[in-house]
Structure 1
């Protein structure tokens, strides 16, 4: 595991399981500010303009879901996404949900390194 992934793993360990569960139960999602470093955000953001890391590209308007688009990563997943899944999913009692919550993140340069969890 790289130093960057170890640091991410440490930040995930600091997330309150209770706060995370409360946000997921109340809103169906949770925002964890400062989880990714600026470098991690930039690295994952740079992938979006490429085709190779992704197995499919969805244009929402084509399916009648409004404006916008999203992509599904191909396997093997990037190390960052794998670490997020492996460390965050065990913090959540997934048996309480009809489907596993998705890990979605907005990779921006705005960062708050607190461990706040917001819905």
Structure 2
């Protein structure tokens, strides 16, 4: 990662970065069975084109990773929702003004797939997060290893795990919000859609809004298919303006589900108070 003297968002020479590899779903599933799902996730994440991901995050505040989980992995992950022993708490959104639908936070120890995703994604994202904080003149910097960042959270009293499963039925939605949870906030998070749009449900689009200073909010509808992951800014990101870098606030939510059932895995890297 290089430092851009003119304040532009620069993560180095794209020629030096790994090129994306398209892995057919059947081959991906076979490889995961051979080495184990958690180990397969780590290999998959390491092989991603992180320069392109950084470019998308810099330009739009989000990046899509197609087909990160296989169909079987999505089915198995969604099935976790029916096993309350895996979770520390359940939230009914309507009781708190959050929308309609519900979600559950996993307890420690996390399922191996979720732990593998959290650990594998954190390192490359920490490099992007540090660059963002540098550009926005924010003091916090993030260690390269997720365990070290969690130790910082836990020392400050943020000890409750934040990965979660969300469940939506017909008519449900999620109001625009930010997942902050305490003093220590990692500025990027991820979500994986576990059902197939147009087959399992209609509606329920993932939505981002961006509020720039003295401007109307900008809305982005993020197209996702089953198994796709979206990485996005938690609360704010740097944007290059005519007078230098400025900070924009982001919120995310889910539009009303018109029919069917929709599950999402949320990966948040900081823990909660």
TM-score (ref. length: structure 2): 0.37
For the structure 1 residues 3 and 69, does the alpha-carbon distance in structure 2 shift closer, same or farther, using more than 3 Å as the test? same
* Structure 1: distance between partners of 2:108 and 2:48: 27
- Superposed displacement of residue 104, structure 1: 2.3
Deviation at 1:87, TM superposition (A): 0.6
Point out where structure 1 has 5 or more consecutive residues left out of the alignment. none
Trace 1:40-79 onto structure 2 (pairs within 5 A).
40-79=73-112
Q: Helix, strand or coil for the counterpart of 1:35? A: coil
Residue 103 (structure 1) aligns with: 190
Where relative contact order (Cα < 8 A, 6+ residues apart) is larger, the structure is 1
Higher strand share: 2
Please list, as runs of the form range in 1=range in 2, the aligned pairs for 1:1-119 lying within 5 A after superposition: 2-92=35-125, 93=127, 94-95=129-130, 96=132, 99-100=185-186, 101-108=188-195
- The alignment covers a number of residue pairs equal to 117
| Structure 1 SS opposite 2:191 | coil
Q: Quick check: 54-63 or 21-30, which moved more?
A: 21-30
Task: Kindly report structure 1 stretches of 4+ aligned residues shifted beyond 6 Å.
Answer: 116-119
Equivalent position SS for 1:102: strand
Further displaced range: 87-96 or 74-83:
87-96
C-alpha separation in 2, matches of 1:59 and 1:76: 23
Task: State which structure, 1 or 2, has the greater radius of gyration over its C-alpha atoms.
Answer: 2
Residue deviations 1:43-76 (CA, integer Å, cap 9, x gap): 1111011211111111221111211222111000
With over 3 angstroms needed to count, the CA separation of the structure-2 counterparts of 1:70 and 1:112, relative to structure 1, is closer
| TM-score, scaled relative to structure 1 | 0.77
Q: Which has the higher helix share?
A: 1
Instruction: Give structure 2 stretches of 5+ with no counterpart.
Output: 1-34, 139-184, 197-224, 233-273
**How large is the RMSD of aligned CA atoms in angstroms?**
3.0
Checking the alignment, whether the CA contact within 8 Å between 2:75 and 2:194 is kept in structure 1 is yes
Contact 1:15 1:117 in 2 (8 A): no
Structure 1's 58 and 29: CA in aligned 2 closer, same or farther, altered over 3 A? Answer: farther
